[in-house]
Each structure stands twice: as C-alpha cells, then as structure tokens.
Chains A and B, each alone.
Chain A
Amino acid sequence: MSKLLHIHSSQQLYTKTMLILKNAIPVSLFICMSGTLLAQTEPAVKDTVPAEDTIVITRTALKGVPVKGIITDAATKKPVAGIRVNIENYSATITQDKGQFTLRAPSYDATLTISGEDYDTRQVPLKGRKEIMVALLDESHVSLHENVVMPVGVTTKRNVTASIAQYNVNGWGQSAEIPDALLQGRVAGLNAIRRSGLQGAGANLFLRGYNSLYATNKPLFIVDNVLYDANDYGQSIIANNYTNPLALIDLKDIDNITVLRDASSIYGTKGANGAIIITTSRAKELATKIDFAAYTGINQAPARLPVMNAADYRIYLADVLQSKGMSSTEIAALPFMNDDPNNPSYTSYHYNTDWQKKVFQNSLTNNYFLKVTGGDNIATYGLSVGYMKNNGIIKETDLNRFNMRFNGEFNFSKRFTGFANLSLTYNEQNLKDQGIADKTAPVFLSLIKAPFLHDHEVNSKGIESPNLSNVDTLGISNPSAVIAQMQAYNKYYRFLGSFGFKFDITNHWTARTTFGIVYDKVRENIFVPSSGVAKDTLRNAIAKNRLGSQVKRLFTVYNDSRIEYKRIFNRVHSFGAMLGIRLQFNDAEQDYALGYNSATDDLVSVQNGVAALRQIGGGIGEWNWINNYVNAEYAYKDKYFLSFNMAMDASSRFGKEAKEGIAIGDHPFALMPSIGAGWLVSSENFMANTNIDVLKLRASYSFSGNDDIGNYTSRQTYGFRNLLGMQGIVRNGIANPALQWETSQKTNGGVDIAFLNERISASVDVWSSKTTNMLTYEELPTATGFQTILTNAGSMKNMGFEATVNARIIHTPTIKWEAGFTFSSYKNKIISVPNGHFTTEYANATILTMNGKPANQFYGYKAEGVFATDAEAAAAALRIRNNDGSFTSFTAGDIRFADLNGDRIIDENDRSVIGDPNPAFTGGITNRVIWKRFELNTLFTFSQGNDVYNYLRYRLESESGVQNQLVSVNNRWRSNGQVTTTPKATWGDPMSNSRFSNRWIEDGSYLRLRTVSLQYYMPFKSSLVHNATVYVTGYNLFTLTKYKGYDPEFSANPTVFAQGIDTGLDPVFRSVTAGVRIGL
C-alpha cells in the first residue's frame, strides 16, 4: 500500500506509466482501484507556467493528444468566436475569431463539450478523429444534450438510461395554462385529459395507460425535490367540483418539467405511475433582474348545443304529454298551451329564450406577475408575486389567485450550501354546480329549460319584473336564478415550504437533506336558494333551500436525506451512488355540514338550517411512509451506461400480513428494484464517418408500487350507527390484513437518435407494463353479511409505443422553423379479475372490465334503427320483461335492439361491448417559427379512435319527459311508415328506448389547435426598461371533431371507469390573451 502511495506522489512515474501503458485496460483498472487521480484537473492555462526544460518536454507528451477544430454557427455558417470547448475535468479552451480552437484531449476517445451563450450545448465524441467541424444550433433547439432533472440529480439527457421527457416551460407566453394541462401533447406517453373548462380544473394524467383500477393512476409529482401532494381528498360539496392543487403553481415560476416514464422505482410504492418532476426557476445570474408582466384576455362562450326552439318544443311537449295519458282537454288547459293573447298568462309563456345565452358568457381574464431575481456569491434569490383573475364562461364564476414564491440559495461556505423554497398560494373561486346535478347545474338546466319561458317574472301585460322567475310549472329550476342566487365558493390555500442543506464532505462524498412542509386548507360553502330552484327530496323532508360548509385540511411533513458518492476513475469509469431515506407524515381531515330549509333565502350559512335535518360528517386520514433507496450509476467510456435503483418501502397503509416484500419486525417492506442500461452507439469509433450525430439504445426493467390502497383498508374498523334512537358501533366490512401495495413491473426499450447536424432528433420507446396484486373487490358469501372485500387479486398489462420527433426544418439567420411531433399509443388488457369480469355503473353507462379486454369497455345494447311500422315490430316480435314478470312488446316507433342471444327478449343478456374509451393514439404537433423579432409557437393536440359516451345527448334525446330536447328530436317517429332513427316520444320511456346503447357512443377523436402564441421582442433599450416582449396567445382556437357535444375533451373523474363519459361538465373553451413582459 505504501508503494502505491509512493507512485502516486510521483508525477514522473505516473506520466511514464501512462506513456507506456496508454490505453491498456489493466492500467485503467489499476487506477480505478487506486482512486484519486482523476480529480487532478490540469487546466490548459497551466501551460503558460514556466517549468524546467526536461519536464516541459515530458509534460507536452503527457498532455494527451492534440485536437483541432472549427466551430461555426449552423444558421449563418460563419465561424463563431468565444465558444467554450472543454473536456470535463481535463482541459478547456475558447474558440478564436475564426472559430478555430486547439486543445489537448486525453485520447481520441474523449468527448468534447462545446458551449456558448445563446447556443445549444453539444457533446461531441472524437471517435478517433483529430479534427472536428461543429456547426452549433441555437439555444432554443430541442436537444439530446440538455440537462435534465432526474430523481437523483441533474444530468445530461444523453446519458440517461431511463425513458424520460423534458419540457422547458415558457410560462410567460402561456399565462392561462396550469402545469398538468400544459403537458398535453408535449410529452409522448402522457395522456393529459383536461377535466373540464372550469378555471383551474386541470387535467387527469395517465402516463402510459392504466396501472390500476381502484388505486390512483396519477403520476407522482415532485416539486423542487419535495413530494407535491396533487390529490383532492374528500368530495367537494359543490357538484362535480375538483380542487386541483396543481393550479396553485404559476407557470411563470416553473423552469422545466421532467416526465419520468419508467425506472421510477426509486420512489418505491409511490412510483408505479411514473413521476413528474417540476423544477421552479431560480436566479440564473447575480445581477438584479426585475420582470413584470401583465396580461388580459377574453374567454369565449362555447357554441350552443342545438336544442329546440319554443315552437318545436311545445309540439314535442304536446306529444310527450299525450303519451303520458293526458287527454287533449287536459293538455289544452295547460297554461303554456294557451294561445289567447287576452289570457293573463299568455305573455309569460310566449317567449323564445335562448337559455344557453343566459348561462354562458364571454369573460375576461387578468394576470399580473412580478419577479425579482439576483444576489451575490453568498446568496441568490428569486422572489415572485402574482395575481390572477380569470372569469369563467359560466356567468358568476371566476378564479382569483394570489401567489407568492421565494427561492433562495445560500453558499454558507465552499462546501456547505443551502436552499429555501417557500411558496404560498391563495385561490378563491366562485363556482356553480356542474355535470350531473339536474336541479342546480346551470349548463344542464339551460339545455332542458322550456324556451317559451322568460327568466324574469312577467305580468299579464308583458312587463318584466326585476325579480327572477321561480320554478316553472314543469318543475324545472330557473337557470338564471341559479346563476344569480346560488352561492358556491371555494377558498383554498397551500403553503409549501422546503429548505435543505448540502455538505460536500470530500470531493466525492456529499450529504444532503431536504425538509418540506405542506399546509393545505380548502374551505367550501354552498347555498342553494329556495326561490327559482326545484326542491330536493330528503329521506324525511322536502329541502327547500340547501346550505353547506366544508373544510378540508392536509398537513404533511417530508424529509429526504441522502449521502452521495460520485467519482470518475481514470476518465473511463464514471461511478455515482447514493443511499437515502425519505419520510413522509401526513394528516388529512375533512369536515362538512349540510343544512336545509333556513327560514329565508337571506340566511345562507349552514347554522341557519333546520336542526333536525342537519347532516354532519367527515373523515380523518393519517398515513406515514418511509422509503429507503439506493441508486448507482455507472458509465464506461461515456458510451456504456448502467443504472440501478432500489427502494425498500414501508407504509402505515400496508397490511401486517402482506404476502410480498420482506418483513422487518412486524412490518412488511416492499422491495422495488430497477436496472437500466444505455449504449451510446454514436460515440463508437466506427460511427465516426456517419451523419448520425447521436444514437443511443436504452433498456430498462423496473419494479415499482402503488400504495394508494386506502389508509385503513387493511385494518378492522367500526362505524357508528343509529338504530331506532340507539347508538352503537358496527363493523365496516371485513379487514384484509394481507392487503398490500400494487406491484408494477415495467420493461422499456428505447432509441434516441439525432442526425443532419442534430437538426433532426427522435426518441422512440417500446414498453410494456404489468400490474400484479392489483386491487379488486372480491365478492363475499352472503353469510358474511358483507358484499365485497378489497383484495390484491387482479392483474393487468399495458403495451405501448411512443415517439418524439423534432426537426429544425428551416434554419437561416432570419428565419428558423422547428417542428416537433409526439405520438403515443398503448393497449391495455386485463389479465385477471375475480370471476373473470365485472361491471361498474357511471352516469347510466355500464362499464365492462373483463379478462383479455381493456379495463373499461362500454357495455350496452346495440340499437339497429327504429321500427317504422307495427307490422315490422310484430314481425321482429321483440319484447321486454317487466318487473312483475309480464312482457311488453316493442311496437312501431320503438328502437330495434339487437337480440344477441335470440330469445326475443331484450334484457341484460343482449349487451355487448359497444365502445372503447381508450384512444388508438394521442399526441401533439408543435411548431416554432422565429422570424426577426417575432416568435410563433403552435401546439396541435390530437386523440384518435377513442369512443365517447355522450351522456348529455342521452339526456337530451331520451324523449321521456318535459325537459327540452335537441333539434334532432324533431325527427322523432310519429306514425306508421315513417322511417327515422329517432324513436317516438313516450312519457317515462317504458320500453327504455334510451337505455345505454350505441346510440350514445360517438367518436371522440379530435385534432385541436391547442395553443398559438405569438411573441414580439420589442426593439428598444433604455436605461429604465431593458427589454420588453409582447405576447398574444390563443387557446383551443379550433377543434376538428365529429363529436357532437360541446367539446370532445373532458374527464369527469380520475377513475378508469369514468373515462370517455361526457357528463356535461362546463366545456373547455376558446380564449385569447394578450400581454406584455417588461424587464427592468
């Protein structure tokens, strides 16, 4: 050992050894074993130091091999001076005025890193060449060389073995976006489906298909290395409202987003759905920089659905009331059938109101943002404050957001640094019920409300009162009253604070720790007035007005501590490893109170409700998670990459008798390993003379888990019950102590390629994933007293393909055009569920989950037209079985349902798969055109081959009641011989012509101009204003689709079983914003 040390200390001996045994592997290994050499950076500047003659000669020989080159600008084709060329930890230089450089490389295997301001950093492997020519592309170019934020730290995308995608956010040009919806079309493999058009509603994210049926499918969010809880705990008391924590992050605070599609096993049992890593922006330079931006915009109300006008509606109403059995005298006596202008009620029933106009509006948005960054070599800071007011397209809805963020970085000493990220966002939102809320959702009401009515009270002379009219004679609420008088608001704030330290113990060893605290509170209040709104029926009373209040709270403490080791051995072996532990303590609580029948509509808070009708409830959730992880990264010659991750997780949610994993003490720990390998083929010498700049092959295999199995599901719990005034506790189901995490096993193979001087780059991934131990409800024998138990009895798999292509199509000094394309496709398949299949119900749809088929198939009847004549119906002889066992035959004007089993009885045995909500493929097309001082960015998104169940159309074409219907209902069957596809109007629809059938399934494919953003960099410079940019951005400007609803994009619920079901949430809308950003 002492001998070795001696050799080390002797520069001469070392260099001699190098000369003799250059490129000899045994030496490499030897040096690798011995350790420390490669830290000895000897920068080129040292060459100028005078030295002894003999040594100078030796040193020249020792300094590796000479490399020459010329760096040009790919656009102008002219040489560029001042470009840094370096070999990491070895040598560096700057190009001269003709773009030329010379530098010493350790060998002709080395990789040069070429970087310069406004240019895209490029890594150029020498591959045996002594002279290189590199034409640099500009910084905005999407490149394989860019740095990406990985769970283990920042690294070059080129060296990553996992399948990842990064999006560098330009929040200034997309002020109206929120982080989850933003990723739509930009990341292959990620299917982001916006929930609705509600402000801040965001998107449901599915990364590479479905991984779970009953646990979450949402990727894990990490913001600045802290887990970001993006769940909405507990249901909203506002119908179908979703509180989206991601709406709290201002896009202008985000620097980049990395999507980790696989190899997320480092997050253990939270990694099954991949991870989305958000890095917020921090000071990039020390000089104080102030940016102020102001935006204003307009949201456009959607095109109205073609519902019937007053004249058509009254004819429909006459028909449907006749089918109810009302005599013509009774119908003629109804107030709205009166056509005598002298009748006092004549005027109130002779309008032609476009109710959708009463509910939708064009609205304004405003957004202001101020960011200050700067600092010195001790500390840098970034401080931003923002305010946004976004009025909804539904009248009286809006979103106000105040956000503040402070990011600071501190250099306490050379080895000891720290950071603090503090953010506080306050959201205040005025809402309305949406989706399936027949009495209170204004959009739905505006579709079904009788158009011959007016929203204000009208006297016999036709004079309109300022008072809004009450519930009409048909029992339907007044949408204008709901808009004006219903209160539903959500006040939401979240504090996310994190701070951390990093200590460089030695050159190779580093210790880090990060603490994070989340405090999150949602407060909701509703008031549904009695006037203008149809009454609700409670178990033991009629609810005239309704009041509600809810508070949801989440408190999380998080710590991530790790020790890292990083070393490059002899320039050939690069090794990094880390060992860490993550801890998370969570405490969530939900409390709500619902009241009914306050004395007047002026008493709107919940304590004014009648005491006997008050409902109080809530829940407490506490769960803890510990995640021990190791990571090792190894690279050989910067060409071959290996990575290994493993996590060992325990959670308070796991059952004590979990089958898998290992047990330490009483506690089951999940083991989640993954390995990845990459081969940078383009760095091989035999690739020296090809046009391929980068070619990398990747493969990974990983295990990860899903711990979203319920906080207490594995335990025996009891619930309070009241029976005839006696209080008692009863068991809540049967505990399953063997309940454990779901296991996701993922395999990925990928290719990254760039050629034509990296003007064209592409990444292609083929993957498969398999979920085992998947949560399913298993049926229990009746004797147990319970119906189901949650077990890990299912399994499911996905296979998919995704591709990302970027091409710099035009590249000249004045005009640059870059186009990008993302494409993803997956096939989901259930391997096994208990009993081989089960069905679920959502919005009157039946969803089939069956072995061998995708998880969520629309399962219903096949409609094959309408019986034109009684003779035709009699010939078909189809019938239904009534509840009392008798039969009713289909007659003329009824739908001819396919009788699949041939028994002439249309019942549940005649259902089949009638649609699949999973798209054949999804993706996006981006374009970026830079011309002089203008920059145009466009994003098209598309989804192809997904079937959609149009619940709204089902309601608006069911022809079973007094609700207004679509214009298509004018086509309804009326008399023998009429050939049509719309059945007759019948009160209550006794033959269930409107049952869940392929009549309501539509093609949900679309191509949408998702975003267009035009920027203009103003050509002035003054002492006060450094720069100014003007933005005009359009969102959802057009959508090509055959889908007949308001919009083909919606996701009412994150569950797999609700996908592709349009429940009539507030639609996604079109908007345009204009803004200016000023740099001071």
Chain B
Amino acid sequence: MRMNIYRLLLIPVLAAGAVATGCKKWDDHNAITDAALTKTIFEQISADTSLSRFADLLKKTGYDQVIASSKTFTVFAPTNTALAGLDAAIVNDAGKLKLFVGNHIANQSYFTRAATTSLRIPMLNGKYHNLLASTVNDATITRADQPAKNGVYHVINKMLPALNNCWGTLENDPAIPASQKAYMLSLFMKIFDPTNAVQTGVNPVTGEPIYQPGTDSVYTNLFWRSVYDLNDESKQYTLFVLTDAAWDAEIVKFSPWFKMPDSLGGSAPITKWYVLKDLAAEGLYPQTTVPDTLLSKFDVKIPVDKSAIVQTITTSNGIIYIMNKADVQPRHKIKPIIIQGEDYRSMSADKRGNMYFRDRFNTLTGKDFRDVLVYGHGTSTFNLKYRLYNVNSTKYNVSWVALNDFQTATFTQKIAFGDPASTGSGYKTVSVNNFDEVTVGQVEFSNYSGFVDMFLVATNTTTAATNPLVCDYIKLDPVF
C-alpha cells in the first residue's frame, strides 16, 4: 500500500521529466559525424561487393564474429580479384583456411599515417606483416584507412599467404640442401629450464628445489639459443644455407684453425659450428636490396655474392638464401684476442696492497684508459694470471701497452703461456713514458682450445724499482 502511494507520486514526476529533460541536448553533441564509425569492420566489408569473397571466407572461418566484436582490429582485405588465385586446397581445409584468413587480421588499429617507417604487425594467426606506407609485405594497399567503429580496414591488391617461418622452411622445404640442414637439426638438446617445472621437494642439504623429472628442461636447439631463434615470428632473419659442396668446402677451409686431437672428436664438429654461426643475420634483406656484406650476430662479415645465390625462399619471418659459395674470410672470423691488464683472474701472491688501477690518458690514441700497476710487492717473479678463451690453432703476434710513468728507470716483464715459469715472450724492457703497442713476441697454438692461461710475470728480484708489473692491455693478433 505504501509503495502504491509512491508510485502515484512518481507519475507526475516522470511525466514532467519526459517533457523537460528530453535528452535532446546530448543528441547533437553525441551524433556520430562520420557514418563509417557506426558500423563494425565486418559490416563494412560485407557491404562492399568488391570484397564479397573475403567476407565469405570471414564467415566460413568464424572471424566475422571476431571483427564485429568490441575490440579494435586492422583488417587487410584482399579484393575478389586478388583472391581469385587462392588455392582450393586451402579453402577446403578448415585449419589452413583459418590460418590464411587470420593472416589478414591484426589486433589494434594500424593506420598508414603511422607507417612512415616499417611497422611489424602481429596478425591473429601469430604471423607478422610489415606495413610501410601503402604496402603490406608485397601487397599494395589500394584503399587505405577505411575507418570503422571497431578499427580500420585496408583493401589490398594481393592476398597475404600464410607462409612458413625460417625454421619451418628449413625443416620442411625440400629445396634446402641436406648437409647444413642435417647439422642444424642435430643441434637439438634438452636444457635445464625451471620455468614450467613442477617442484616436488627441497634438497635438505643444499636447500635447492627438486623438480619432477621431465618438467625441468626444454628441448631446444643450440642455434635458437646461441644465434637466432628462427621460429620467432616477431623478428626477421636472413639465413644462408650452403649447398652441400659449398658447406663441405667451407668446413675444409676453416678446419686449420680448429685443430683438435682425435681423442676430443677431431676438428670437424667445432669447425661446423664456427661456420654455421656466421651464416645468419638479423633483418630482412630481399635479393633486390641485399648489400654485398652482412654482419652476423658475432660481427663477422658475411659476403653476399648475388651470383652465388642458387635459390631464394621467402618465409613469414625473413628470407633464406641457398648459396653455392660462402666465402667468409678467415681474417674476419679468426679475430684478435685483447685482454685488459686489470682483468686478471688471479695473482701469484696476495699483493692487493701494492696494486693500483690507474686512469691515464693515452697521448697517441687520444683516449682514456685504465691499467694495472703492481709496485713494491717485494716478491720475485710475481705474476698476474689471465685466461684467454676460444684460442684458435694458429700463430699469434703478442704485444702489450705498458706505461712506465711512475719511475725514470726502465724495468722488464714477460708474458708466459700455460706456466709462469715458461719462457714465453722472454723478459722485455718497459721503457719510460711509452704509449705504443709494443710487440713482445709470437706464440703458436697447435690445437684449438676452449681456454688458455696467460701470465704477466715480473723479474726475479725483490727490488721495487726493477720488479714492477704494468699493463694496459695484451693483444694476441692471429698471423695469416
């Protein structure tokens, strides 16, 4: 009863309200000025007869629901003409068709005005496309920036096939030469990775977690981890695959620098890896614009001789060139080893109280540098130990920069390899105020080594003025 009274009261209120507020004042303000913004992308595409075939495909794959929903999308809609050549096998395979149609739709709105530099846009199927001005990959946008309520669509004159990526191509494309492919596929291994591991307990001694077997590792490829993950769709790579002959020739060419005793497997495995790691570059270099030299991840120059290209395969994340010649120069691959004096690994006696890390200015190079000085240590043949990594089986020129600016008398020091007592370079005089790189000798390694210990050794006295050690850096320059 009480409620009824209030309802009764409400009648005049509502009646007056209907007359007065009439929400008219908002109508003008809220009116959509651009009719396109009232329709979703799908509504607009299906209204366009020149895109009817694409609209049908959208419906068939269910993507019509997606691009009518309340998120923003960019659709690259191929015209009917562009779709004329679509393989019936794709149309008839639901999975492939979904992959194909999804290759034309991206989340978020991408307008051509933003694509003044190449934009790499992720598509709904996981692939990426490059949008640059009015081109997307190699298709041309014929009608750009068609606005819609939930995004934008661009009409393109070529369809965007869903290609394999570089790794997929490498695995599946029959055109790929066998040897290099076989080697690359041999690099799979299991690697500890606790990201998805299931922990079953804690080691009572170390306190470390115990993981359920089989969950604590990933099966991955050394190339993906150490060089480039060729499965990564968001990036682009240029991969060189050598024909079998060229691959073999390249191995032979580099094996002198990677000599290994047969007991350790011989030189072949390590040479293969060193050849392979410099056969890929990041970035997309199509054949028309590819420069004559690319740089690998390890700063090794990869000469690109266009005449040596046997075949070019475009992938979704880059390009693969099949080459009949690599021609990577040993002097580019086998690099000098430079070690800073202050980066020693250990010392023969604890003389930290006598060590100085000095900031100096090199008047010859015009650069600042830091060096190490051990002075007044009072120890005969005091030495600093350095470790060199990945030392090739070749001859190196050894030189140093040692600045004797702390006394007017000269003194001597030597470089030894393996054992501080070995002869090595022999004691060499460190003259006063010399900023030059001074060659102190040569050293030759018979085998490739993962690491070699090197020593900077003081004279066999305890006199401060004659037994200092000073070093900016030591350089091992391979002799070709």
Binding site for B on A (CB under 8 A): 296-298, 300, 303, 306, 310-312, 314-315, 318-319, 322, 327-329, 331-332, 337, 339, 362, 364, 870, 892, 966-968, 970-971, 974-981, 1009, 1034, 1037-1044, 1070-1072, 1074
Contacts and interface: CB of A to CB of B under 8 A. Distances in A.
Interface in B356-408: none
A451 to B, nearest CB: 11
Interface in B219-271: none
Contact of B70 (A315, A364, A966, A1038): A315
Contacts of A297: 9
B319 interface: no
B29 A1044 contact: yes
Contact of B25 (A300, A974, A1041, A1071): A1041
B34 A339 contact: no
A800 B34 CA distance: 47
B81 interface: no
Given A968-B26, A1037-B20, 7 more contacts: A315-B70, A329-B107, A970-B30, A970-B149, A1037-B13, A1037-B16, A1044-B29
Contact of B72 (A303, A319, A980): A319
Nearest to A1008: B20
Contact of B12 (A311, A328, A1037, A1044): A1037
A937 to B, nearest CB: 15
Contact of B145 (A339, A970, A975, A1072): A975
A1043 B29 CA distance: 11
B102 interface: no
A1040 B113 contact: no
Contacts of A870: 113
B349 to A, nearest CB: 50
Contacts of B5: 296, 1074
B341 interface: no
15 contacts: A303-B21, A306-B26, A312-B70, A319-B109, A329-B122, A892-B113, A967-B26, A970-B37, A974-B152, A978-B34, A1034-B16, A1037-B13, A1041-B25, A1072-B9, A1074-B9
A301 B329 CA distance: 82
B17 interface: yes
B89 interface: no
Interface of B: 5-6, 9-10, 12-13, 16-17, 19-21, 23, 25-26, 29-34, 37, 66, 69-72, 106-109, 111-113, 121-122, 145, 147, 149-152
A935 B29 CA distance: 41
A328 B234 CA distance: 12
Contacts of B152: 974-975
Nearest to A300: B13
Contact of B108 (A300, A318, A364, A976): A318
B17 A1044 contact: no
A366 to B, nearest CB: 11
B237 to A, nearest CB: 19
A975 B113 contact: yes
Max count, chain B CB within 10 A of own CB: residue among A327, A328, A892, A976 = A328
B16 A1038 contact: yes
Closest CB pairs A-B (n = 6): A1038-B20, A311-B70, A328-B108, A1037-B16, A318-B72, A328-B107
A976 B37 contact: no
Nearest to B108: A328
A1001 B31 CA distance: 19
Contacts of B29: 968, 1044
A975 B30 contact: no
B25 A1039 contact: no
Contacts of B31: 971
B23 A303 contact: yes
Contacts of A1034: 12-13, 16
A1072 B71 contact: no
A1009 B33 contact: no
B122 A364 contact: no
Contacts of B70: 310-312, 314-315
Contact of B10 (A298, A967, A981, A1038): A298
A968 B107 CA distance: 24
A310 B16 CA distance: 30
A355 to B, nearest CB: 17
A1040 B145 CA distance: 42
Nearest to B116: A870
Given A297-B9, A310-B70, A364-B6, A331 B107 contact: yes
A338 B66 CA distance: 11
A388 B7 CA distance: 21
A318 B13 contact: no
Contacts of B147: 974-975, 978
Nearest to A968: B30
Contacts of A332: 107
A345 to B, nearest CB: 15
Nearest to A1007: B20
Given A968-B30, A1037-B12, A1038-B16, A322 B145 contact: no
A650 B9 CA distance: 55
A303 B22 CA distance: 10
Contacts of A1041: 25
B9 A1038 contact: no
A339 B62 CA distance: 13
Contacts of A1042: 25
Contacts of A1039: 20-21
Contacts of A362: 10
Contacts of B149: 315, 970
Contact of B111 (A364, A970, A975, A1043): A975
Contacts of A1070: 13, 16-17
Contacts of A331: 107-108
Contacts of A306: 23, 26, 30
A331 B12 CA distance: 49
A977 B145 contact: yes
Given A314-B70, A328-B106, A1044-B26, A981 B33 contact: yes
Contacts of B23: 303, 306
Nearest to A305: B26
A97 to B, nearest CB: 46
Contacts of A1072: 9-10, 12-13
B26 A315 contact: no
A1074 B147 CA distance: 55
Contacts of B145: 975-977
Contacts of B111: 974-976
A548 B30 CA distance: 42
B33 A980 contact: yes
Contacts of A970: 30, 32, 37, 149
Contacts of B107: 318, 328-329, 331-332
A977 B23 CA distance: 30
A945 B352 CA distance: 85
Nearest to A313: B70
Contact of B30 (A296, A966, A1038): A966
Contacts of B25: 1041-1044
Contacts of B37: 970-971, 974
Contacts of A364: 6
Nearest to B152: A975
A929 B107 CA distance: 66
B152 to A, nearest CB: 6
A327 B128 CA distance: 13
B71 A979 contact: no
Contacts of A300: 10, 13, 17
B30 A322 contact: no
Contacts of A298: 6, 9-10, 13
Nearest to A304: B23
A1042 B13 CA distance: 20
Max count, chain A CB within 10 A of own CB: residue among B13, B34, B66 = B13
B231 to A, nearest CB: 16
B18 to A, nearest CB: 9
A303 B13 CA distance: 12
B133 to A, nearest CB: 13
